[in-house]
Structure 1
Amino acid sequence: MEILCSQISERLNNRRFTVAGNTNGLSGAGTVFHYHVEDDAIWGTYQGGRIRMGNQVGRVTGTDTIELLYHCLTTDGEILAGWSRGTVGVDHAGRTTLSFVWGWLSGATGGGESSYIELAA
């Protein structure tokens, strides 16, 4: 598992991401996700757009897969929580990509799919 975690860590640790596609979700243009990785543990923050503040916690589950729990406070004062399972990839320009299947656990119903792209350093 150590080698698997180091590959994910190289792609996620201390990197920022923005939404590439999220038709059913709350995050959108202006939402920035900032991830940290230590061994198989992942955590991060997100804010912007309709998200006043949010947090994530999760773990590495495979060579290119992760799972996360997240919660946020929206700009409308709503508190929401959910889950996601994601794949970490690389685009043609060498930027890290994230693709998730997700669902709400509290504050909303439903779910969907979303994708994210690494912001330039």
Structure 2
Amino acid sequence: MPTSFSPIGERLHNRRFAVANNSQGLSGAGTVFHYQVEGDAISSTYQGGRIRTGRQVGRVTGADTVELLFQCLTTEGELLAGWSRGTVGVDDAGRTTLAFVWGWLSGATGGGESNYVELSV
């Protein structure tokens, strides 16, 4: 893993995240994201709440930034896809945080901002 990307790998790899704020999106209470990082490649699966199943793929773009493409199937049978650009941070309790700006590419219109926080083990 490149040294400049190491902090993101350490902060995301094999960790789970819950929604802290996503007023304009589908993920919400009960949605859990599980990330994997290999070098500068990022992938994740997510489900819960209104999301039956979802996947993300992306890359590290800087010391604390990422970009992702996502797709999901909702509990109502909708098939949706979108993009996001995010920042990886740390809160006062030492938990990893994710802050994204995102938009829909297929199945819906619009976009928004969302925040996630690492779940305690």
Smaller-chain TM-score bracket: over 0.9
Q: Tell me how far 1:4 sits from its aligned partner.
A: 2.1
Instruction: Return 5+ residue gaps in structure 1 as ranges.
Output: none
User: Paired residue for 1:57?
Assistant: 57
Q: Give matches, 1:42-81, under 5 Å.
A: 42-81=42-81
Q: 2:94 aligned with 1:89, yes or no?
A: no
TM-score (norm 2): 0.99
CA distance in 2, matches of 1:31, 1:88: 19
CA distance in 1, matches of 2:5, 2:42: 10
Q: Which amino acid aligns with 1:78?
A: E
Q: Give matches, 1:23-38, under 5 Å.
A: 23-38=23-38
CA distance in 1, matches of 2:98, 2:8: 11
Q: Percent identity?
A: 76
User: Paired residue for 1:18?
Assistant: 18
Deviation digits for residues 63-101 of structure 1 (CA, Å, limit 9, x no counterpart): 000000000000000000000000000000100000000
Secondary structure of 2:29's match?
Answer: coil
Secondary structure of 1:53's match?
Answer: strand
Instruction: Return 5+ residue gaps in structure 2 as ranges.
Output: none
Aligned residue-pair number: 121
CA distance in 2, matches of 1:120, 1:91: 13
TM-score (norm 1): 0.99
CA distance in 1, matches of 2:3, 2:28: 33
Query: How large is the RMSD of aligned CA atoms in angstroms?
Result: 0.8
CA distance in 2, matches of 1:48, 1:20: 14
CA distance in 1, matches of 2:3, 2:50: 37
Deviation digits for residues 91-113 of structure 1 (CA, Å, limit 9, x no counterpart): 00100000000000000000000
User: Paired residue for 2:104?
Assistant: 104
CA distance in 2, matches of 1:23, 1:97: 17
Secondary structure of 1:34's match?
Answer: strand
